[in-house]
Chains A and B, each alone.
Chain A
Amino acid sequence: EIVLTQSPGTLSLSPGERATLSCRASQSVSSSFLAWYQQKPGQAPRLLIYGASTRATGIPDRFSGSGSGTDFTLTISRLEAEDFAVYYCQQYGTFGPGTKVDIK
């Protein structure tokens, strides 16, 4: 069973700053199966990135995904107020524990 680890657990940043979130798999995974989600309080998660690097429909281009093998990254180029949320990576039936991006 693949285990996904996300770091950091919490990222405190200011609007306009760049956010870099990491997702590490316990063994190599195909990039095609790696996805990222955003979840705001009281809301369902929303698909941001699939196939490790493809933005889902309607996702702004300040969000980008990269990586391969065991190491994947979600980058938010310039944080906007609505981006402060929890972000999860996912591979098939496994989710990472999440990274909370909060306002510094």
Chain B
Amino acid sequence: QVQLQESGPGLVKPSQTLSLTCTVSGGSISSGSYSWSWIRQPAGKGLEWIGRIHTSGSTNYNPSLKSRVSISVDTSKNQFSLKLSSVTAADTAVYYCARWWDPWGWFDPWGQGTLVTVSS
């Protein structure tokens, strides 16, 4: 079955750009009616959807983060990536990648998550 795994730096300095990659295994990122999404969760808080990308390249972002977010896909590597610019301490969170079922928007499966701390 499809599995997702996040990777990237666990510590990012304020004002810099957070970069994470999600590797999809067990299936092709290009197959089926799916998009690929990022979601985050600050410690002790709820879930916040960041955005999604279809393998066609089309993207949708959370309006609250849209000015700072970019999601891209590399089908040759079966990966998709997140870039979040101008980070502050408020961006400290566990970041999850997940498969988005088009057109309904359900998330399944999820990666295990990776903690990113923004600190100098």
Contacts and interface: CB of A to CB of B under 8 A. Distances in A.
Contacts of A51: 104
Contacts of B14: none
Interface string A63-104: 000000000000000000000000010111111111000000
B62 A95 contact: no
**Interface residue tally on B, bucketed by range:** 10 to 19
Nearest to B62: A93
A33 B107 contact: no
B117 to A, nearest CB: 17
**Interface residue tally on A, bucketed by range:** 20 to 34
Given A44-B96, A95-B46, A90 B107 contact: yes
Interface in A27-48: 32-33, 35, 37, 43-47
Contacts of B46: 88, 95-98
Interface of B: 46-49, 60, 62-63, 96, 101, 104-113
Interface of A: 1, 32-33, 35, 37, 43-47, 50-51, 56, 88, 90-98
